[in-house]
Amino acid sequence: MSDRPAITRRDFINGVAAATMSAGAPFGTAPTLAATPGPDSVPPPRRTGLRGSHPGAFEAAHALRDGTLKPTTGHDSGAVHDLVVVGGGLSGLAAAHFFHRYAGAGKSVLILDNHDDFGGHAKRNEFVVDGHLLALNGGTLEIESPARYGQWARRVLDDIGVDLTAYLRENRREAGLYDRLGMDRAFFFDKGAWASEALVPRRIPPGASWYGFGPDFVARAPLGEKARADLARLLAPHQPDYLSGLGIAEKKKRLAALPYDRYLADCAGVDPSVVRIFAKAGAGVFCVGADAMPALFAWAMGYPGFSGLGLGELPQGLLSDLPGGQHGRQAESGSSVHFPDGNATLARLLVAALVPTATRARSQDEMGTAQFDYAKLDMPGAPTRIRLSTLALEIAHDGPPDQAETVSILCAPAGNPHPDAITRVRARQVVLACWNMAIPYMVPTLPAPQKAALSYGVKGPIVYANVAIRNWHAFHRLGAADIDCPSQYFEQVQLAEAASLGGLRAPSDPAMPNVVRLIKTYGVPGLPTKRDQHRAGRAMLLATSFQTFEAEIRAQMQRILGPGGFDAGRDIAAITVNRWPHGYAYTYNSLYDPPEWVFTESAQRPCVIGRQPFGRIAIANADSAASPHTDAALESAHRAVVELLDRQAFPFIAPSPGPATF
């Protein structure tokens, strides 16, 4: 391994790596401290270090939660906006879009967001390595199952010029790049968890589940004789009925209440070392592992062990009217679509439409290399203004909720909780497109049952660490592009999906720079509920420094890729750690929640009770649909805007939520 030192804290001063130097300058040779550019001179997508919920984005929110920041009257701006949207993610941007569409393009809309970039979880990370522009999603990954998008989610895509057919056509060659180079999915067995260390290709057969394994995987896996036989049995197309004696309905009921790891151990009777292979099953979807995922979900998602149960097929239409992929509850329909920067492309298209002076780019293809002038996002007099790094502290009607004509919003810099920094803006209507769990603190006058409902779902913590590398020869030599490593610090190590968008071209040669995504979730097995695991995981994530992440990234990539010639000190150009302590929206889980919440559209679900309009305030976010998917955010935006405009047109409609019964 090279003696080259790790990327220093100087390189990441104020969260900005030396990526901002000239394209040809090496990332590891930072300029002097005085010459290092500050955050204002670097576009947010190119800022490295800790991103996602970055330092300066949440300190005031935590002070509000802890009671150490008491909102005051604040300095009154004097302006009254037709709509204030709290949250500049996809749901908030879509709410502004629908409001202009229905209420009129000349109406004034102010969007507030506590981060220094728009898009919410749909963030974009950029790197320039040896003259090559690279981009990857810093959060929301893809448009999942677009064929199942509802009317209003599809309307947003159509309105902003998304053409998935053209995009897929233009990326036909890129889509098969890694296959043509002999690169497949692989599984990393480390010596600490298994008998010996090995990187074993999975070679999933065509048409098999994404979670499957090829026929030679068992022979190459470093397992004992019994474990190898158990794994072969588990992967066989025809295997025993591990729940014999039960009817189909009884089997499904049992699987809905049984964690997948216990099903494998107690019902399928496989060796503990085989159970460890699936320890992180579902983690990329639910932010918890197999100990907190119902076995019924595992069956629906295509994990092995169920072929002998005779459960039949999940109907394609089951829960099809609920937004999101509904993993674990219905069969997925259609393939997903991933832009190079994930759904940041959608956020950029929405901003280009809402604030056209912020960029010259307009079309889908132009978003690949589009530059945005962040100084023009919040211009006086513009129909839509996006005010970043600003937190809404307290939101209250200017009078009784059923009679008030305006709503006051107290705001402060997101990282500065000092009372003198608080200002007041007013709006005729408000859409809360932020996290549900923050709303009870922002709107203290909400009815207690609604506050309880909003607080029920705990978002799942997750980290996307994006690592720019100077070449990807090691991946090519090892024949792997996507590596599962459930016993390591990061459970997945993936080369960026080969995808191009306009002038942003996918690296086509292993000698070219590329980006590696490492994913870490924070399941904490042994705690009573999934919500408890999320809370504990969030605390762990917030307590982790960038230095720790960097050390773990370097060590893990060296360990796995070193046999292919990788040298972490030589080959890593820059690191961006997207920290999402409040990541995926909470989805209901039949191990811990009532089955009717999981498998039906029950109005008693907390998400339904919590999202009820309150006077001139409506709620739009993915949490309100109990789904982390993009269509959930877009559909919720439409619902919230229509709720507000309906009450404007028909003021005799009661603005109170329904009763809570949980």
Q: How many residues are recorded in the chain?
A: 662
Closest by CA to 9, choosing from 498, 551, 657, 387, is 551
Evaluate whether 81 touches 426 at the Cβ level (below 8 Å).
yes
Helix (H) or strand (E) holding 532: helix 530-542
| Residue 540: DSSP 8-state | H
Give CA 441 to chain center in angstroms. 23
Closest CA to 623 of 478, 490, 439, 469: 439
Per-residue CA distances from 478 to 105, 190, 489 (Å)? 55, 16, 21
- Spatial separation of the C-alpha atoms in residues 84 and 113, rounded to whole Å: 11
Q: For residues 464 and 187, what is the distance between their CA atoms, to the nearest angstrom? A: 19
Q: Is the dihedral of CA 115, 121, 122, 124 positive or negative?
A: positive
- Please state whether beta strands 184-189 and 423-427 pair in parallel, antiparallel, or not at all (unpaired): unpaired
Contacts of 130 (CB under 8 A, 6+ apart): 23, 24, 470, 513, 573
Strands (E), 5-66: 49-52
Distance CA 214, CA 237 (A): 12
**CA–CA dist 484, 487 (Å, integer):** 9
Instruction: Kindly write down the DSSP assignment for every residue of 334-349, as one continuous string.
Output: S--B--TTTTHHHHHH
Crossing angle, helix 151-159 and helix 630-649, to 10 degrees? 100
CA 153 to chain CA mean position, Å: 18
Which residues are documented as binding site for FAD?
91
Contacts of 93 (CB under 8 A, 6+ apart): 111, 118, 119, 347, 350, 351, 354
DSSP string, 349-379: HHHHHHSGGG-S--STGGGGT----GGGTT-
* 263 touches 305 (CB < 8 A): yes
DSSP SS3 for 260: helix
Decide: helix, strand or coil at residue 314. coil
> Helix, strand, or coil here: 651?
coil
The burial of 182, by beta-carbon neighbours within 10 Å (0-12 exposed, 13-18 middle, 19 or more buried), is given as exposed
In angstroms, rounded to a whole number, what is the distance separating the alpha carbons of residues 255 and 203? 28
Q: Which residues of 316-352 are buried (b: 16+ CB within 10 A; e: fewer)?
A: eeebeebbbbbbbbbbbeeeebbbbbbbbbbbbbbbb
The string of DSSP letters for 164-227 reads HHHHHHHTHHHHTHHHHTT-EEEEEE-TTTSSS-EEEE--PPTTS-TT---TTHHHHS---HHH
Identify the bridge partners of residue 137 per DSSP, sorted by sequence position: 124
Query: Mapping DSSP to helix (H, G, I), strand (E, B) and coil, where does residue 505 land?
Result: coil
- Phi, psi (deg, nearest 5) at residue 632: -65, -45
Strands 407-413 and 390-397: antiparallel
Spatial separation of the C-alpha atoms in residues 490 and 559, rounded to whole Å: 12
